Chain A
Amino acid sequence: MMTGAFFENWFLPGIWITLQVTFFSAALAFVVSFVVGVLRAAPSRIVRILAGAYFEIFRSTSSLVFMFWIAFTVPMLFHIQFYGMAAGVLALGLTYGAYGSEIVRGALAAVPAAQREAGIALNFTRIQRLRRIEIPQAWPEMLPPFNNLLIELLKGTSLISLITVADMTFSGNLLRLVKGESAPIYTLLLVLYFVLAFLLTRGMRLLERRAKAKIGQAPEKTGLFGGLRSRSSIDAVTGTAGTGGAK
């Protein structure tokens, strides 16, 4: 069905592009999540309003339309031409960053007020409280929803095929046109996205266990495989084992 040459020339690079776009979009989204999420609880009203506006605007925008806008409208309006992948990364990162800011804001708000008060009583600055007390305690709570978002993002990267970046989906479509058979190709794509998502989830679970151990909620040492073994495969797939490592 698929010739080896085609696979090597199109499909493998496609997977690689998908991974790259996921990685860079996730990195951007991560930074945006924290900056916007923290600022949404800033002492200054105007800052809170601006950060809230960012969240509302980007959450309500279609990331596909936004991607088209960056890829095709921005060059016309501002004479800035984005390399196709950069446009996709920008659109995905800014949009998913808005969703992520809600995760950060919510997790920070869930840190008990008593912890903030203990920080004030020790005369920490606001920034020190965030860095040393509030974010470290909120971090394990952020990881499961971040995992969901990361998988949404991975699947969302297929949108960049529509601005002609040759990712996995783009290569699949191309192959379909060339070969004229769609069933095996789309099945392969589904499986590939699933495998990638599964690997990401494993990685995030590991992070989560580490994070919980760091705040004294679980035994400190968990190896890569120790963790895998201790959890049922159903939990791993459905993602319902959020508190499995907690005391």
Chain B
Amino acid sequence: MSAESPHTANTPVTDANPAVDGSELIRFDKVTKRFAGNTVLDNLCFSVDSGKHVTLIGPSGSGKTTILRLLMTLVKPDEGTIKVGGDYLTHEERGGKLVPAGEKHIREVRKNIGMVFQQFNLFPNMKVLQNIMEAPVQVLGLSKDEAEARARELLDMVGLADRCDEYPSRLSGGQQQRVAIARALAMRPQVLLLDEVTSALDPELVAGVLDVLRDVARTTDITMLCVTHEMNFARDISDQVLMFDGGKVVESGSPEKIFGDPDHDRTREFLSAVL
């Protein structure tokens, strides 16, 4: 990426935002989430520091997706609070009390968060370039020219500069996912959520997408929360691995520690099953 990386903008010059460089960016505090009486997250507490790359692992149904969806405000916690950059995500303080946040507050905090989905979820009614430009223009208020320049730079980064005039339906899954990554990055989020972004891809397309993500991890200061079954990838890019089970964090540590010599049998069992 060029010296004028779009992501240097994530570091505010004036330090109004406490969440830069190693300080805490995300905090789950006693978060409980139930679906139809089934407790998926049980008083969950954990935090992620700014700039870190964190991989969430755990058996199917352990709530990894739910954690990312909570952060993206696609679902609301039943109990507990989530903070991003020091601000409550789904709550706001009013008259000294914590109340469910209004849409305005949620959008203000949510602007720091981006997500890439397993199924890409590109907008089929827009060509590739427009998919990437749309939110910067509509949401961030960028001019068309600025947004287009930003989109083209990102498409270049994901290796699809020549496909900007195609509809998503004419791209392969791997190409669509790379566009989806570019689309999320165009909003210059502080946090990027990645939920099994290669699981829907044919095996030969996985590497291309992971390469792009390695690039993002290496060249930007974006905090990444990543759910993946690609353990080599997780080992490469992660600063920290969180093992979930039964709605709680079972253990957390460096990838060397978790993949090499985990403390808990539960982790060991899980890893031997997937590796």
The answer to whether A61 has its CB under 8 Å from any CB of chain B is: no
We find that the number of chain B residues with CB closer than 8 angstroms to chain A is: 29
**Is B172 at the interface (CB under 8 A from chain A)?**
no
In this complex, the member of B74, B123, B139, B169 whose beta carbon has the largest number of chain A beta carbons within 10 angstroms is: B123
Give the residue name and chain of the A residue nearest to B111 (CB).
A123
Residues of A within 8 A of B114 (CB): 121-122
Kindly identify, within residues 129 to 174 of chain B, every residue whose CB is under 8 Å from any CB belonging to chain A: 134-135, 138-139, 167-170
Interface residues of A in 109-164 (CB under 8 A from B): 114-115, 117-118, 120-126, 128, 132-133, 136-137
B125 engages A137 (CB within 8 Å): yes
**Contact, CB under 8 Å: A118 / B169:** no
Q: Which residues of B contact A217 (CB under 8 A)?
A: 124, 169
Residues of B within 8 A of A122 (CB): 114, 134-135, 139, 183-184, 187
Tell me if A247 counts as interface (CB < 8 A to partner B): yes
Q: Is the interface of A mostly helix, strand, loop or mixed?
A: helix
Q: Are B169 and A216 in contact (CB under 8 A)?
A: yes
> CB-CB contacts of A87-118 with B at 8 A, as 1s and 0s?
00000000000000000000000000011011
Q: Which of A115, A117, A124 contacts B138 (CB 8 A)?
A: A124
Q: Does B7 contact A (CB under 8 A)?
A: no
CB of A216 within 8 A of CB of B184, answer: no
Contact B123 A118 (CB under 8 A): yes
- B124/A215 in contact, CB under 8 A: yes
**Among the listed B107, B117, B122, B167, which residue makes an inter-chain contact with A123, where contact means beta carbons less than 8 Å apart?**
B107
> Are B117 and A114 in touch, CB under 8 angstroms?
yes
Instruction: Please tell me if B47 contacts chain A, counting CB pairs below 8 Å.
Output: no
Q: Is A202 an interface residue (CB 8 A)?
A: no
Given contacts A117-B121, A120-B74, A123-B107, contact A128 B169 (CB under 8 A): no
Closest approach, in angstroms, between the C-beta of B177 and any C-beta of chain A? 13
Q: Which residue of A lies closest to B115 (CB)?
A: A121
C-alpha spacing A120/B107, complex, angstroms: 9
Complex CA distance for A114 and B74, rounded to whole angstroms: 10
Closest to B183 in A: A122
Q: Is the CB of A118 within 8 A of B121?
A: yes
Q: Which residues of B contact A136 (CB under 8 A)?
A: 125
Known: A122-B184, A132-B138, A247-B169. 10 other contacts (CB 8 A): A118-B123, A121-B184, A122-B135, A122-B183, A124-B139, A125-B107, A128-B139, A133-B123, A217-B124, A217-B169
Give A residues with C-beta under 8 Å from B: 114-115, 117-118, 120-126, 128, 132-133, 136-137, 214-217, 247
